[in-house]
Amino acid sequence: MAFFLEVLIGGLLTGVLYSLVALGFVLIFKASGVFNFAQGAMVLMAGLALVQLFEPTYIGLWHFVGVGALSAAVVGLLVLRTVRGGTFAAAKGDWRIHLPKIVAVGAGLLGGVLALAGGAKGWPLWLAIPAAIAVMVAVAWVVERWVLRPLVNQEGIILFMATLGVTFFIDGFSQTLFGSNVYPLNIGLSKDPMFLLEGVFEGGILVNKLDISGGVIAGVLVAGLAVFFQKTRIGRALRAVADDHAAAQSVGIPLNWIWFIVWSVAGVVALVAAIVWGSKLGIQFSLTFLALKALPVLILGGFTSVPGAIVGGLLIGAGEKVAEVYFPVVTKFLTGTAMPGGVEYWFAYVLALLFLLFRPQGLFGERIIERV
């Protein structure tokens, strides 16, 4: 019983971490109808950016300076846009038309110099995390400007294919830029095991503190997203766009800006996932495989539901771990020979497909009713 509970709890906590990646998919799908296959690659990119800034000893100084400059330029542009009332626009001939370039270059230089001054020590976490967010905002801007905007009004499948392209680009480019090693990320989250209910079960139930931290971080993130979506002006605009692009546009909600925001938020979610998974495994290429772990979570939970991503993650996490551990037992009972495990990868999809048979839109997905 204790062992079953241990596997179940371990699975649930792993499931929460899958949810972290699935959340990024849900956000973008809700707001733009785009299934963003690049979410796993964004986790890698965010993690690499953070580790560059936080512990640059792993990589060259000039990479660190480059990332510092990029993040400062992004922050400069965002500040400028806010100061000028949400726009960069200026009349032809007005000197202010050049202001974004001036600010980007100026802030970039300042960031570069700051990074250089920090040298091999890197930045403290309170500065490195916002800077990594700025890098993800830059990625969001590039994706919106160079991938989504030219493809506006295209079929969903075209946009999906475009995100596939983005995935391979980010995967390959990040490795070219930052290398392919495993970079340990140690931001102070404890990795020690702890034992629950030691009085009830011999040896207690083992739970890893890092998984608990991951669960708490995921909870805070979901709460934050809920407030962002429900209580803020931008959140309401996002929900409006999610409901109907054309209607939202007709009441003056700028679609491009909204897409940029939602990709930026997905970038932040990717960074959180990278922090938790990176603390566990180190920042490394295999983080992109997390996208494949998020797929069954999405199938099960629904593509448009934040609670669905959480519940889906829990079910998939617990389901696959229990299946992996008890598969040899069940096969021995059925056939007389215990088959070794190695089933958790495909079992997650079997579980998701089973749910799909009964609820094609997923557990919490919106039921689409079209009247002819």
Partner 1 sequence: MDKITNRLAALALAGAIGLTGVAAPAFAQNEQFIPILSYRTGAYAPNGIPFANGMSDYYRLINNRDGGINGVKIAFEECETGYATDKGVECYERLKAKGPTGAAFFNPLSTGITFALTEKAPIDKIPIITMGYGRSESRNGAVFTWNFPLLGTYWTAANIAMQHIAKEMGGFDKLKGKKIALVFHDSPYGKEPIPMLTEMSKAHGFELVLLPVTHPGVEQKSQWLQIRQQRPDYTLLWGWGVMNSTSVKEAAAVNYPRDKMVGVWWSGAEPDVLPAGDQSTGYKALMLQHGSGKFPVHADITKHALGKDGSQSKPDDIDDVLYNRGMVNAMLGVEAIRTAQKRFGNKPLTGEQIRWGLENLDLSAARIKELGFEGALKPLKISCGDHEGTRSGRVHQWTGKEWKVISDWYEGDDKLLVPMVRDTSAKYAEEKKITARDCSKES
Angle at which helix 255-281 crosses helix 233-243, to 10 degrees, equals 100
For 1, 9, 10, 195, the CA distances from 200, given in Å and listed in that order, are 11, 16, 18, 11
Residue in 78, 125, 164, 281 binding partner 1, rule: CB under 8 A: 281
Residue 146 near partner 1 by CB under 8 A: no
Using CB under 8 A as the binding criterion, the count of chain residues that bind partner 1 stands at 36
What gap in Å lies between CA 183 and CA 234, rounded to an integer? 36
Residue 165 binds partner 1 (CB under 8 A): no
**Residue 173 lies near partner 1 (rule: CB under 8 A):** no
Q: Please report, for residues 210, 296, 312, 349, the alpha-carbon distance to residue 326 in angstroms, rounded to integers and kept in the order given.
A: 25, 20, 21, 17
Asked if 156 touches partner 1 (CB under 8 A), the answer is no
- 167 part of the interface to partner 1, by CB under 8 A: no
Asked if 153 touches partner 1 (CB under 8 A), the answer is no
Rounded-to-integer distance, Cα 173 and Cα 161, Å? 18
Query: CA-CA distance, 346 to 334, in Å (whole number)?
Result: 20
Beta carbons of 235 and 242 less than 8 angstroms apart: no
Q: Which of residues 9-28 bind partner 1 (CB under 8 A)?
A: 10-11, 14
C-beta closer to partner 1: residue 71 or 284: 284
- The token duo for 147 is 């991938």
CA distances from 68 to 62, 163, 180 (A): 10, 26, 21
Min dist CB 297 to partner 1, Å, is: 14
Q: Which residues pair with 195 in a beta bridge?
A: 206
Query: Which one of the spans 232-240, 256-264, 337-345, 352-360 is the region binding partner 1 (CB under 8 A)?
Result: 337-345
* Site mask for partner 1 (CB under 8 A), range 197-216, x = bound: ---------x-x-x------
Residues paired with 206 in a beta bridge: 195
Residue window 90-129: x/- pattern of binding to partner 1, with contact defined by CB under 8 A: ----------------------------------------
| Contact pick of 101, 191, 236, 359 for partner 1 (by CB under 8 A) | 191
Residue 342 binds partner 1 (CB under 8 A): yes
Residue 245 interacts with partner 1 (CB under 8 A)? Answer: no
Count the Cβ atoms, other than its own, within 10 Å of residue 125: 14
Half-sphere exposure of residue 2: CA atoms within 13 angstroms, side-chain side: 13
Q: List residues bridging with 193 in a β-sheet.
A: 208
CB closer to partner 1, 252 vs 336: 336
Site residues (vs partner 1, CB under 8 A): 3, 6-7, 10-11, 14, 172, 175, 180-184, 186, 191, 193, 206, 208, 210, 280-282, 284-286, 289, 293, 320-321, 324-325, 340-342, 344-345
